[in-house]
Amino acid sequence: MYQFLDSEPVRKEKRLIWAVNRSVMENIGFVPIKRGKKSKSHWNLFVFLLKIFTILLKITGYYQKGYGNAKTINVNELTLKFPNLPTAFNGFKILHLSDLHIDSIPGFAALIIEKVTSLTFDVCLLTGDYRRDINGSFSHILRPLHILSKYIQAPEGTFAVLGNHDTYLMARYEQESGMKLLVNESVEILKDGDKILITGTDDPFSFYTDDALLCLETKGYDFKIAMVHTPELAKVASRRKYDLYLCGHTHGGQICLKEGSPLLSHQFEGKQFNHGKWNIGSMTGYTSRGVGVSGMPVRFNCEAEITLITLEK
Ligand SMILES: [Fe+2]
């Protein structure tokens, strides 16, 4: 069972203010980040370089190999131990899905469904990036997301945050996509007299606002989980006594050298945040390599990942 911290009227009012602000950010040439502002022009250059790289892969015959790799999704199971975990949540299972980019590969939803239907979990947490592109239409992803949501049987709920590829307009279609969005807000999960808190922020990579920091100012919980698209707010979450921080965004690099080093990770917090488990103080963090792909539909030396996390006391 879950309940939002804010009442429904307060949530509606906050969501409206956020939507107005986000719509402005999505429609101007500069996007705020924690360190100031950055231009979107770097993205256009990146897209141009990707096109050249795609042509090279096709000429050399590596494209099909990389495409096959991108369609091979692995289930990564791990157990994380926390001495302060409330007893009722011992053995609690989280299905963590990040960076679905569900329209990058035709029929990709079916590949994800094939994997998740064999898993049992209590809650599903999605950490952003549902479509391939960073702008344009999104209506075409609602149906595959809705179908996928039917197969995600999470008794305690399915919660999602937005990534830098997502538009504020998706918040209007929570029912159609089957996702309950956490936009700089928190939800309590209640179980056998115990409770934990899950806080989800808006994407800090392209749409940072101080509201993302404010929503992490939560007190009075034995165990707190932060959901953020990128690792950028990890230090803040650790200072605010969060226990677990789940993110994605990096795709683990998506294209890596043989020893696993990414050519690009699109994050500047440090290479320990590229993928997998990391720690800041007493907080444990996990960066998913992502389920899907963006840019071009290939992976090399970097497996697509569905993560099943078991919490243990
Ligand atoms: Fe992504």
Q: Tens of pLDDT along 161-218?
A: 999 999 999 998 888 777 899 999 999 999 999 999 999 999 999 899 999 999 999 9
Its sign, for the CA torsion 160, 161, 166, 167, is positive
pTM over 0.75: yes
Q: What is the pLDDT of residues 39-63, one digit of tens each?
A: 555 667 777 788 888 888 888 888 8
Which residues lie below 8 Å from residue 147, measured CB to CB, with a gap of 6+?
109, 113
Alpha helices in 117-242 (DSSP H): 142-151, 174-177, 211-214, 234-239
Q: Please, which pLDDT band fits residue 135 given cuts at 50, 70 and 90? A: confident
**AA identity, residue 8:** E
Kindly report the number of other CB atoms within 10 A of residue 61's CB atom.
8
Q: Kindly list the structural domains of the chain, giving each domain's residue range(s) and its CATH number in brackets, ordered by start.
A: 2-312 (3.60.21.10)
pLDDT of residue 34: 56
More confident residue, 261 or 90: 90
CA of 190 relative to ligand 1 center, distance in Å: 31
How far does the centroid of ligand 1 lie from the alpha carbon of residue 129, in Å? 5
How far, in Å, from the CA of 44 to the mean position of ligand 1? 16
